[in-house]
Amino acid sequence: MPTTLVFGGSGQLGQCLQHVAQQRTITDIVFLPEEQADILSTETLQAVFAEYRPAYVINCAAYTAVDKAEDEVDIARRVNRDGAANLARLCGEYGATLIHISTDFVFAGTGNQPLTETDEAAPISVYGLTKLEGEQVIPQHTERYFILRTSWLYSEYANNFVKTMLRFGKEREEMRVIWDQLGTPTYAIDLAGCILHIIQTDNTAYGLYHYSNEGVTSWYDFAVAIFELGGLPTRTVPIRTAEYPTKATRPAFSVMDKTKAKTQLGVAIPHWRESLVVCMGRLK
């Protein structure tokens, strides 16, 4: 397998990629934490590309603090747009394929039908806007890219909704959770498997893809499933988004259609609850 560089290698998805790479005995993959390979430092990136001359680059590095981004527009844009541009530019120079991770937050979330890659992107938050800008700048520098939009990521690693609910479930008798935002939880191990499948099959169907687990749920129903599988007696109360105000606005409906990923990438996608069972088993 040709050399693959992973930027943001110490984050949740980076750790999941490490886990899956070990399972598949993939060795020609280098995980680069931010302190070693800042995607905003063109000088550092140039040195890294010159040293490794990668065939693939996976960009897991991103500014993901959704609410803080409303106040930190410049840094969010620098990381999510300019960082993506820096990597795309060097991928173009070195003939490497870029696999870039984006988000369902590029959509307004005002519809009620699964979103395809050709549906209009109309972000309603700074985070969503800067991630969309990152998507848009990549094709200006390279034709060899895969952009994977995903949603509601969780895993055994780092901080995420599943681990937060399990912690709160042990501390509190009652949890109030939003029920009027619909989407699909995505087990980051499954996403990591998809990314490595692209590389291992030498896929050249470049472009924009949607990847989440299958099915539809609300944050409330997701929490209920977590407490149930975790054996926690926590009482879960559904609330509306308006009852839990946040700085950034979230899409009310961000269920994505994965037909293109299944046909063009040749991946089988599990249902969200099936993958949650797997993750909960590993957390126990």
The residues annotated with a catalytic role in the active site are 127
**Placement of tokens 């939880």 in the chain:** 185
Beta bridge partners of 31: 6
Which stretches of the chain are DSSP H helices?
A: 12-23, 42-52, 73-77, 83-94, 126-137, 161-171, 188-200, 219-229, 259-260, 272-283
Here the tokens at position 1 are 């397998």
d(C-alpha 85, C-alpha 276), whole Å: 34
Measured between alpha carbons, how far is residue 61 from residues 24, 83, 169 in Å? 23, 8, 30
Sheet holding 97-103, edge to edge: 29-32, 4-7, 56-59, 97-103, 145-150, 207-210
Residue 154, φ and ψ in degrees, nearest 5: -150, 165
Residue with tokens 């905003």: 40
89 exposure class (CB count in 10 Å sphere: 0-12, 13-18, 19+): buried
